[in-house]
Amino acid sequence: MLTIYHLVLEVTRKCNMRCSHCMRGNPQRLTMSRDVLWHTLKDVSSISTITFTGGEPSLAPQVLEDAMDIIRDCRIELGGFDIVTNGKTRNGFQRFLKVCDRLYEWSDEKESCGLVVSRDQFHKREMPQLNLSKFMGRAEDYDGGYEFEREYFHPTDRDRPIERVINDGRAEELQLGGRDPEQQSPWLIRTWHDEDNPHVTEDVVYVAANGNVVSNCDMSFKRIDRESRGNVLEKPLKDIILSYCKKEEE
């Protein structure tokens, strides 16, 4: 079984915005299937942090629901989760928030959970964003019922300037990037004298919507597919990691 420090799931490549600084590039009509989720999570015993990314993750609440069901059914230990949304989604946002609540309740380290609205100089203030405050404070606006504010909701955490844009995706095409993307590096694993139960330490395990796996989350869709270390539909995730890793000295 696998223990993963930071698992990133690219739940969809769809997006309802066309930001000039986007390192992912142009959106694609692709959403992660339950099959990809199952092959990613079935041999995982513990995750310190799981990040749901995209695209725009709030456009794929079904994927988050499927992930939560598999995590629960497989009894996967979860420290916390992290999601960044542009806050623009309207239809289905309550469904998205409900599954965020489920993830929060399952998480062992609730202080490390975060749902963040991305607001910066590339996301104009006047853009039509969902007024999330009504979901945070008034139970009558949410048919699931809960008490007051979600503790994991941090609406201002991204309210700060971006110093350097990653030179990939649309930012590269529009010549906005000022920071070269980092190259992939081997996963650092600890075996604890047990080769069958590797522990991926501080490195990111990024699984794309199509099942491709990379060790760096700051990449365009094109680079992810071009530089994939393997696909979970073709090879077990543990084998992909072990084929591109270095062992931590014990």
Mean pLDDT of 158-178: 75
Return the pLDDT at 120: 64
pLDDT above 70 (res 250): no
Tokens representing residue 87 in the block: 């806050």
> In CATH, what class is 2-247?
alpha beta
Residue from 31, 74, 22, 38 nearest 52 by CA: 31
Q: If pLDDT is split at 50, 70 and 90, which confidence band does 163 have?
A: low
Return the pLDDT at 193: 63
Q: If pLDDT is split at 50, 70 and 90, which confidence band does 246 have?
A: confident
Residue of 8 and 94 predicted with greater confidence: 8
Return the pLDDT at 197: 82
What is the per-residue pLDDT across 68-113, written as a single tens digit (0 to 9) for each? 999 999 999 999 999 988 877 777 788 898 899 999 999 999 988 9
Q: If pLDDT is split at 50, 70 and 90, which confidence band does 139 have?
A: very low
What is the per-residue pLDDT across 190-237, written as a single tens digit (0 to 9) for each? 876 677 788 888 789 999 999 999 999 999 999 999 999 999 999 999
What is the per-residue pLDDT across 9-29, written as a single tens digit (0 to 9) for each? 999 999 988 888 889 999 999
pLDDT above 70 (res 128): no
Q: Say if strands 114-117 and 2-10 run parallel, antiparallel, or are unpaired.
A: unpaired
Single pTM value for the model: 0.87
- Sketch the domain layout of the chain as residue ranges: 2-247
Return the pLDDT at 140: 38
Q: If pLDDT is split at 50, 70 and 90, which confidence band does 162 have?
A: low
Return the pLDDT at 32: 98
Q: State the sign of the Cα–Cα–Cα–Cα dihedral 149, 151, 152, 155.
A: positive
Return the pLDDT at 192: 62
pLDDT above 90 (res 178): no
